[in-house]
Amino acid sequence: MIFSSLNRYLPLLPLFLLLHACTTLGPDYREPEVQWLSDWQPDLYGLAGNQEQQTQFDLHFWWRLFDDPVLNGLIELAKQNNLSLRIAGLRILESRAALGIATSFRYPQVQQATGAIDYVRNQQYGGSAAEKHQSLVNYQAGFNLGWELDFWGRFRRGIESADAAFFASIDNQQDVQVLLSAQVADLYFAYYTTLERIAIARSNAAIQKRSYEITERRYQSGQESELDLQQAKTQYLATLSTIPTLEVTATQLRNALCTLLGRAPGDLPEIGDTARALPTVDPIVLQGIPARLLMRRPDVRAAAWQVAVQSAQIGIAEAQLYPAISLLGTIGWSGNTLGGSPNTGTLAVGPSFIWDLFNYGRIKNNVRIQDALLQQTIENFQDRVLQAAREIDDAAVSVVKTREQKRILSDSVQAAERSLKLANTLFREGYADFQRVLDAQRALAAQSEREVINQGDHISAVISFYKALGGGWLGPTADTLMPESIRRTMETRSDWGDLLEAPLPNPSDPSPSDAEAEIYE
């Protein structure tokens, strides 16, 4: 009987389904326009050469230009073990699950099966009536259905927002890869730069110690003044005092590198503690148009996705201004063990609506809040693009100028070495006083250290340049989001279905509304 009654209402379902697909409130996403970008065509101080000058180079693995297997291995280890990168991967899983929640609202939101069994015992006693005892068992079962139809597009906008947040989480994970690759390379070469500075300081201290000992003997024999002795001693001890500070810096750099690798502070067998020559980097020629490379940076794309996330929130807020139309249904059955008592079947089906008629001001102001938040994300996107352009330009000029300075300092060190040699010769032959030797030693020590520092700065500028271009990431996969051991732990803790193994999309576009370009040229 229940199902025969239900058939009477089936013709109404197409009407409700028609209402379900009626309209979608709120603005559709539009990528924010960067007005100055089309006119920004810098040569980056000569780094943006002609296509004929460019050689093919994979920006995803830019650190390979240093031809250093140890560095390659450290970056690979960091991408496997770095905790910040793992957290970014877990946020992808979090946003993927949130997208699943948003998608589920397209279907009936209430799907409840109910049931109960009650034992009831009644006793009547006292008074003029005879005592009466009665016991029975009540039982009932039912199914409730509640489906709020997406008449105003509230749930569709929710899916849009969650979908954009999911893609933003993927770009954020790629941005962590960019930062991680650059940090490992920067710390690696900063560590060796510091070891080289320690070696130079020890070498200079050894030279100055010999001068100090010679001066001391000459002073004791009456051939030198005490002033020359104290100046030689001062210079030697000053150089010697710089070594502990540099050793502290080297330890701090090594510990920072350990942290990026997911290790406790301590020794790194991969790099040791012996100084080595810093690599010579070939001149950079940028491949690709700077403006297009800029827009493909993961952080810029993530900022664009955040605009899409917030754009959909306006439609969700506007839907509160209109009635929420739902289709409700209940099927129930109840009965008891009391003799002669009938069983009861229940069917209730029909539409309903809820409308906040007197909360117009509150809802309208919430729409305004969401619109203001949207404009904030747009301005944040504009600022992110500006900052990216500044980082590219700053890094490019640093690459060019440190390379220019390198040639000057190389000549300067050669001149200082020659000057010291001449000063020693003149001093031994009695044509110059010891002050000339001290000045020459001081100049050689200063210029030698400046040359090493500049070489380290040049390498750091090259690293910053490739980081500014957004290089050094690969599209995440289920296998690379986190180690197998963590995935197995999560599977034993909760039912993840296939989310931990399912392939991830690769948001290769610079923004949600632009799907024309490759990630890298």
CA distance 68 to 71: 5
Residue 150 structural domain: 2-27+62-118+137-265+287-493
520 pLDDT above the threshold of 70: no
Separation of alpha carbons 164 and 512, rounded Å = 8
The domain tally of the chain equals 1
Q: Can you tell me the distance from the alpha carbon of 85 to that of 486, in angstroms, rounded to the nearest whole number? A: 13
Q: Where are the alpha helices (DSSP H) in 223-332?
A: 226-260, 290-295, 298-318
> Per the domain annotation, does 519 fall within a domain?
no
In this structure, is residue 36 part of a structural domain? no
Q: Which of 184-193, 259-268, 274-283, 307-316 has the lowest mean pLDDT?
A: 274-283
Question: For the chain, how are helix, strand and coil distributed in percent, rounded to 5?
Answer: 60, 10, 30
| pLDDT at residue 187 greater than cutoff 80 | yes
Does residue 357 lie in a domain region? yes
The b-or-e profile of 17-48 (16+ CB within 10 A means b, else e) is eeebeeebbbeebebbebeebeeeeeebeebb
Residue 404 has pLDDT above 50, yes or no: yes
Residue bearing the bigger pLDDT, 145 or 452: 452
Q: How confident is the model at residue 257 (pLDDT cuts 50, 70, 90)?
A: very high
Domain CATH code at residue 94 = 1.20.1600.10
* Average pLDDT for 227-238: 88
48 assigned to some structural domain = no
Q: Is residue 128 one of the residues assigned to a domain? A: no
Residue 7's pLDDT is 55
List pLDDT tens digits, range 270-304.
Answer: 898 888 888 988 777 776 678 888 899 999 999 99
| pTM of the predicted model as reported, rounded to 2 decimal places | 0.84
Do residues 117 and 141 lie in contact, with contact meaning Cβ atoms separated by under 8 Å? Answer: no
